[in-house]
Structure 1
Amino acid sequence: MDSSVNILNWFEISVSDIKRAKKFYETIFSITMEEQEMMGMKMAFFPFEMNGKLSGGLVQSDMHKPSADGVKIYFNGNPNLDVALSKVEAAGGKITMPKGKISDEIGYMAFFIDTEGNAVALHSNA
């Protein structure tokens, strides 16, 4: 595989209530997510600008079941993950691991449970 290619092509966060989940992520990241229905799925997309490609989104369908035990996604919390983390509980989520230092070289991380029951992480340099 070409090392210049990003290994992440797309990600989906399973949700039970697309409106509630969209509001949660828009609140903690101060973003706007576009909603769309396709192939029997309700979707809301995270903003991403690069050659017109999307990075991932929230998906509600019979095949998508929220879980705290599945794959972990680390969202970019730069410049300081405290900003997004400070909004988690007010937006309906729960912090499960507060901000902790990994190392000087790698930075910091924290975990939270979103409104749908998914365990999600944040990472930042500070």
Structure 2
Amino acid sequence: MTDTIRSALNWFEIPVTDLDRAQAFYEKLFATTLRREPMGEVTLAVFGYDEPGVGGCLIAGDSVAPPSQGGTIVYLNAQPSLDAVLERVQAAGGAITTPKVTLPGDMGCFAHIADSEGNRIGLHALA
């Protein structure tokens, strides 16, 4: 164990049933491009990240449990502005399920959305 505290999150996988639709949703939501990668029996659409750093992807395939059977909530970085990301949710095919909540002190703010696949996703930003 080291004395240096690192990010608690280092990877996330968001299960999807329609990778094309989900990839289009996230690319539009964050105004970015995801990189497709086949990984055995599944296909990933990987979010860009700096190495070393936190990375993650959308994941689809026959062995992936559909979003309706569970999944996890992850908080995606909505820097520099949560408001700007929230303004794009509906146009990208999603819905805001928990409007912006301001956290105490300098912890920033968050919101929850439903993505195009029915996943509950957290968004977090310092502003």
Whether TM-score is above 0.5 comes out as yes
Matched residue, 2:60: 60
Give the distance between the partners of 1:2 and 1:105, measured in 2 at CA: 26
Matched residue, 2:22: 21
Q: Secondary structure at the match of 2:92?
A: coil
Please give the root-mean-square deviation of Cα atoms over the aligned residues, in Å: 1.9
Deviation for aligned residue 1:69: 5.0
Contact residue 95 and residue 113 of structure 2 kept, 8 A: yes
Q: Show CA shifts across 1:92-114 (max 9, x none).
A: 10110111111132111100000
Q: Post-superposition, which runs of at least 4 consecutive aligned residues in structure 1 deviate over 6 A?
A: none
Matched residue, 1:98: 99
Matched residue, 1:46: 47
Tell which deviates more after alignment, 6-15 or 94-103: 6-15
Structure 2 residue ranges without an equivalent (≥5):
none
- Normalized against structure 2, the TM-score is what? 0.88
Structure 1 residue ranges without an equivalent (≥5):
none
Deviation for aligned residue 1:56: 0.9
User: Do the aligned partners of residues 113 and 3 (structure 1) sit closer, same or farther apart at CA in structure 2, a change above 3 Å counting?
Assistant: farther
Q: Show CA shifts across 1:9-33 (max 9, x none).
A: 3211000011100010010101111
Matched residue, 2:74: 73
Contact residue 14 and residue 71 of structure 2 kept, 8 A: no
User: Do the aligned partners of residues 7 and 123 (structure 1) sit closer, same or farther apart at CA in structure 2, a change above 3 Å counting?
Assistant: closer
Give the distance between the partners of 1:70 and 1:32, measured in 2 at CA: 23
Contact residue 35 and residue 44 of structure 1 kept, 8 A: yes
Deviation for aligned residue 1:8: 2.5
What amino acid maps onto 2:16 in structure 1? V
Give the distance between the partners of 1:91 and 1:68, measured in 2 at CA: 23
Give the distance between the partners of 1:54 and 1:109, measured in 2 at CA: 18
Deviation for aligned residue 1:2: 2.5
Contact residue 68 and residue 117 of structure 1 kept, 8 A: no
| Count of residues paired in the alignment | 125
Identity of aligned residues (%): 39
